[in-house]
Amino acid sequence: MSGSKILVVDDESDITELITLYMERDGFVVHSTDNGEDAIKLARELQPDMILLDISLKSIDGFEVCRQIRTISNVPILFISCKSDDIDIIHGLAVGGDDYMTKPFSPSQLVARVKAHLRRQSVNRQNLAAREHDEVLRFDGLVIDLPGRTVHVGEKEVFLSTKEFELLVRLAKSPNRAFALDDLYTIVWGHDSMGDTRTLMVHISNLRKKIEPDPTNPIFIVTVRGIGYKFNIKEGTGNVQR
């Protein structure tokens, strides 16, 4: 984890300096900018391991920055913002953010959150490489290629963020099993994550918009009332190929 590249995008220089100080103290390599357009360019050129992204920026806001980065990268993006309303949090996650922290925050807590994301990402990659080599999940109208990390709905490939892909794989590998909200959040975000299940619910909503024929009446990711979610398939309509 030491040496991981972190891109900090914030127009408050004192915040950027504080984050940089704490991140570098833990061995991270920090790059920063206060400009949205520059952030997109740096994300492409630097290929950072994680991005810390404010919403209020020069030229274009953080929502649009995230939306554009998501067309070229699935790097984990953590929004850091003084906007704490649910609508802002939901919007940030809906455009492709993986997590959200509100200002003011403890720098040490931010570092812990970053480490949790990077650690979880590393574990998931190792698990995919070790246990899911050449594995493809096929369902009626939906194909999930685990080693290629691609998803096709019919003939069309759909782009998923890292957390969206991990959620879909976790659910699809245990079809018809009901997952509690807290359990599913812990499985994907990790035991040491410090978010809440609103993050999970927004990601589920995003997934439905991308893979369901009718997101308002889902056939794959269905709600289990009083429990959480499950990946729903009829007998004989799904299989795994190696």
Residues 159 and 183 in one domain: yes
* Residue 109: C-alpha distances to residues 7, 71, 75, 83, 101 (Å): 17, 29, 20, 18, 10
Q: What is the pLDDT of residue 96?
A: 86
Mutual angle of helices 36-46 and 62-69, in 10-degree steps: 30
**How far from chain centre, in Å, is Cα 51?**
11
Verify that 98 and 147 share a domain, yes or no: no
Residues 140, 84 share a domain: no
Domain range for 156 is 133-241
Residues 34 and 72 in one domain: yes
pTM of the model: 0.67
Q: Which of 79, 106, 124 is the last residue of a domain?
A: 124
What per-residue confidence (pLDDT) applies to 147?
A: 86
- The predicted pLDDT at position 198 comes to 78
CATH code of the domain containing 195: 1.10.10.10
The two counts, helices (H) then strands (E), for the chain are 8, 13
59 and 141 within one domain: no
pLDDT classification of 124: cutoffs 50, 70, 90: low
When pLDDT is cut at 50, 70 and 90, the band that residue 195 belongs to is: low
pLDDT of residue 133: 52
Tell me what the mean pLDDT of segment 113-138 comes to: 71
What does the pLDDT average to over 61-70? 93
Radius of gyration of the chain (CA): 18
Domain check: are 51 and 89 in the same one?
yes
Domain count, the chain: 2
221 shares its domain with 145 = yes
The CATH number linked to 71 is: 3.40.50.2300
Helices (H), 70-161: 86-94, 107-131
Looking at the structure, tell me whether residues 66 and 138 fall in a common domain.
no
The arithmetic mean of pLDDT across residues 228-242, rounded, is: 69
Query: pLDDT-derived band of residue 144, with 50, 70 and 90 as boundaries?
Result: very high
* One domain, residues 235 and 192: yes
What are the C-alpha distances in Å from 78 to residues 123, 140, 159, 185, 224? 19, 34, 19, 16, 29
How much of the chain is in helix, strand and coil states, percent to nearest 5? 40, 20, 35
Average pLDDT over residues 211-232: 94
Is a pLDDT exceeding 60 seen at residue 178? yes
